[in-house]
Structure 1
Amino acid sequence: MVVASAVSVSSPAAAPDERLGFVLVFAAAVCWSLGGMFARFIEIDDPWAVIFWRSVWAAAILVIFMLVRDGLRGTLAMFRSMGIAGIVVAACLTVCTSAFVVALGYTTVANILLIQAGTPLVAALLSFVLLAERIPRFTWIAIFAVIFGVGVMVSDSLGSSSSLIGNLLAVLIVIMFSIVTVTTRRFSHVRMTPAMCLGTLMAAGFAATQASSVQVSVTDMGFLFAFGAVNLGLGLAFFATGARMIAASYAALLATFETLLGPVWVWLVHAEVPSTSTLIGGAIVFAALLSHIGMQLSRLSRPQRPGTSGIGALR
């Protein structure tokens, strides 16, 4: 299938939208980075009950977001028009959101984040193969620097406590989220917020059939609301809107801020002091991401020569 025509060409007129895309995807990463912190407060033993309520609250926030932004008619129209691409995104997100919670019961947050750091590379490879997007050299450098930095961050935790099941679930998350990123970019004319809402509803429906009980305490419900509404729902709303405006490799790279910020929130709230390797690796990731974003913003602020595309001009 020829998909090269689906790759948008940046222009001075498109630059403001691209900048907004960067901001929204970064905001999504900040929301997602809060997940480990919220999960530590929840005392429910059954992960399927956690998945159920997290997905319910996420779906509620996404519905409210769409109703406020597009109204009832607009929201219904988006659900009707999302097509096969929306179904693919919904199915992948169902797997992602469920696998994340289940994986927390088998391995550490650090191990999951390490494996998830490979998402930019997988997304870039998929976009290169499927979308014919030309990936700039400095983007590849930043991707490998991020993966190396996150590897240093959590190297101390990859000992005997590492679970094969948990790590395989994390790999599954990487593959599914990469497909979400590339599909959102390929079908940028399709609003994917309804698809993400459908994905959370599918996850809630499946979890309800697996959970022994969905009854929780008032305290746990409060943290489940934050876990679902803020961490997942708001994050997905930001990502669905912003990822349409930028290349898949950039979206996945910005989303890696989740990996950098996640341990910070746990440190600040739960007093878990990061190790030396975490601090060193975090500095590498932070420097790589800031350098890449700085180069992107610099490119967007410069007028382009006639006949050059925003992505191709970076070669």
Structure 2
Amino acid sequence: MAARPADIGGAGASAHGRGLAIALGAVLLISFDALMVRLADAPHWDIVFWRGWLICLSLGAWMVVTGTPLKLPSGRRERWLIMASVVLLSGNTTLFVLSVTYTAVANTVVILAASPFFAALFSRIFLHEAVPLRTWAAIALSVLGVVVVFGGGLQGGSVLGDSLALLLAMTVGAQLTILRRFPAVARLPLVCVSGAIAGAMAIPFSDPFSLSLSSYTVIGIMGILQMPLATVLLTVATRYLPSPEVSLCLLIETILGPIWVWWLLGEAVPSLTLVGGALILTTVAVHATLALRAERQTRLA
């Protein structure tokens, strides 16, 4: 017997609610990332070392348990692009830790919020995808917001950390562009390998066996539980939610991240970061909402 429309709608609503709960859980975990880096109270290269290798080991164990395969594209050029994506992802791990070390947490997460627009720009340049007018407008407003945040960095002497955050937003956008080119490639193996690369890159600059017990505890929670679990949850959430809606959920991390650091460590948010952040967050939220509405209209049509 054919299902009634009400039944279909109910199932869809249930799946959507499940996906939303999973995505929000992942975002809540990610929002503690900058706080954990601060609480580790360790040299940044030591954090990169342990964070990278622990993410690699924990996700590797998860893939063994679940039997997750690593399927690469058949063409040589495509495989080189996937390798570039892994290198970029490992660089993202390093850049985040370095940026949080040298500037306010709010500056890092606010500038990072502009990464989807770098992805749109790179998609236009390298994948020749049409970019809607709303996205170009959002890119322009986000760039303005980043400039405002940089103004605060110039006043507070954190221009290095802000520059690293801007580079991070670019590399995240580039990595998202490559993954968009290969939607069938499993994400977890890429994150796992990128963790090993980040850990290996930190070896010449780190002294990972000289930390305190408290530092090892915080880094262990970060590398074994927090980030791997958040990565798995985000991957599962994309089965139930369209990508614009997942991106909209990720905005919550931009707000919560500085709040945790301010609440527990007393790190103030620079005034210009509040202005630039409000501009970027509003822009990303409006853009994601419009994109989600357009996607729903396309599905209905």
What band does the TM-score fall into relative to the shorter chain?
Answer: 0.7 to 0.9
Alpha-carbon distance in 1 for matches of 2:166, 2:296: 37
> How much does 1:197 deviate?
0.5
Instruction: Determine the structure 2 residue equivalent to 1:268.
Output: 263
Residues 149-203 of structure 1: per-residue CA shift (max 9 Å, x gap)? 4655674343251244x44433432332122101111100111210110000111
From 87, 93, 102, the counterpart of 1:97? 93
Q: 1:1-315 to 2 correspondence within 5 Å?
A: 29-44=27-42, 46-68=43-65, 71=66, 74-75=67-68, 77-78=69-70, 83-149=79-145, 152=148, 155-164=151-160, 166-230=161-225, 232-239=227-234, 255=250, 257-274=252-269, 276-302=271-297, 304=299
The CA deviation at 1:301 is 4.0
How far has the Cα of 1:146 moved from its partner?
A: 4.3
Kept in 1, the 8 Å contact 2:106–2:273? The answer is: no
Distance of 2:203 and 2:294 partners within structure 1: 48
Separation in 1 of the partners of 2:59 and 2:47?
18
Is 2:261–2:267's contact at 8 Å kept on the other side of the alignment? yes
Q: Which has the higher helix share?
A: 2
Offset of 1:41 from its aligned partner?
Answer: 1.0
Q: Give 1:224 shift.
A: 0.7
How many residue pairs align between the two structures?
Answer: 285
CA distance, structure 1, for counterparts of residue 17 and residue 141 of structure 2: 23
SS of residue paired to 1:78:
coil
The separation in 2 between residues aligned to 1:275 and 1:168, in whole angstroms, is: 16
Aligned-residue identity in percent: 26
Q: CA deviation at 1:113?
A: 3.6
Q: Does structure 2 conserve the Cα–Cα contact (< 8 Å) formed by 1:86 and 1:192?
A: no
- The answer for unaligned runs of 5 or more in structure 1 is 1-14, 307-315
The answer to whether the 8 Å contact 1:142/1:288 transfers is: yes
What amino acid sits opposite 1:139 in the alignment? T
TM-score by length of 2: 0.74
8 A contact 1:184–1:240 mirrored in 2: no
Shift of 1:109: 3.0
Q: Residue type of the partner of 2:108?
A: I
**Residue range with higher mean Cα deviation, 123-132 or 226-235:** 226-235
- For 1:139 and 1:302, the matched residues in 2 are separated by 18
The offset of 1:218, in angstroms, is 2.5
Task: List runs of 5+ in structure 2 lacking aligned partners.
Answer: 1-11
When normalised by structure 1's length, the TM-score is 0.71
Query: For 2:207 and 2:70, how far apart are their aligned partners in 1?
Result: 35
Q: In angstroms, what is the RMSD of aligned CA positions?
A: 3.8
Distance (Å, rounded) in 2 between the aligned partners of 1:169 and 1:291: 26
What is the rounded CA distance, in whole Å, between the counterparts of 1:252 and 1:119 in structure 2? Answer: 11
Q: Is the 8 A contact 1:142 1:292 kept in 2?
A: yes
